[in-house]
């Protein structure tokens, strides 16, 4: 079944595909390899980029999703609400299911989104002549994080 995308989601997906190629060419030119990228579109309609920050210390790692959201908050405010986020994950071959955001990122997306915020997971593969994007899945944050964590209010 074909995935239905809104006009904004189509714009975000097209932006993401172009940016993945641009960033990967840069990474490869300096000895790097493909990584996970995220692209977030808040209600302003602007797009903010993020990539997984790798570190030799596990607590130093920052997921691409949270990098993109931090970039959004830096450029806008904490009041920005996420309409949609694209996650582009490198894979060696098409996988049955795409990587979805980790638990921490699901919470942060929920915190800065609305229940209908969409999460579009794209698998991408490096080939000899470039990169292809063979598979895409779409969820809402409500589907991926149905019982959101909330702090108990005392008193």
| Residue ranges binding Zn ion (CB under 5 A) | 63, 102, 105
CB of 31 to Zn ion, least distance (A): 25
CB of 104 to Zn ion, least distance (A): 5
What are 67's strand-pairing partners? none
Which residue is it, tokens 């638990």? 103
In the complex with Zn ion, the residue whose CB is nearer, 4 or 58, is 58
In the complex with Zn ion, the residue whose CB is nearer, 11 or 107, is 107
In the complex with Zn ion, the residue whose CB is nearer, 47 or 119, is 119
CB of 130 to Zn ion, least distance (A): 27
In the complex with Zn ion, the residue whose CB is nearer, 3 or 102, is 102
CB of 76 to Zn ion, least distance (A): 21
Write out the DSSP string of 100-142: PPPHHHHHHHHHTEEEEEEEEEEEEEEETTEEEEEEEEEEEHH
CB of 152 to Zn ion, least distance (A): 24
Over the range 98-133, which residues count as b (16 or more CB within 10 Å of their CB) and which as e?
A: bbbbeeebbbbbbebbeeebbbbbbbbbbeeeebee
> Distance from CA of residue 95 to its chain's centroid?
17
DSSP 62: B
- Nearest-CB residue to Zn ion? 63
In the complex with Zn ion, the residue whose CB is nearer, 11 or 73, is 73
């Amino acid at each position: 079944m074909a995935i239905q995308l809104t006009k904004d989601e189509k714009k975000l997906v097209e932006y993401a595909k172009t940016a993945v190629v641009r960033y990967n060419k840069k990474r490869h030119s300096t000895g790097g390899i493909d990584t996970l990228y995220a692209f977030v579109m808040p209600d302003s309609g602007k797009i903010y980029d993020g990539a997984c920050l790798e570190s030799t210390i596990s607590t130093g790692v920052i997921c691409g999703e949270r990098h993109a959201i931090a970039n959004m908050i830096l450029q806008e405010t904490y009041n920005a609400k996420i309409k949609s986020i694209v996650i582009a994950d490198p894979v060696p071959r098409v996988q049955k299911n795409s990587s979805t955001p980790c638990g921490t990122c699901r919470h942060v997306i929920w915190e800065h989104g609305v229940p209908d915020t969409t999460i579009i997971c794209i698998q991408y593969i490096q080939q000899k002549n470039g990169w292809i994007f063979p598979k895409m899945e779409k969820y809402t944050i409500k589907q991926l994080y149905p019982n959101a964590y909330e702090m108990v209010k005392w008193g």
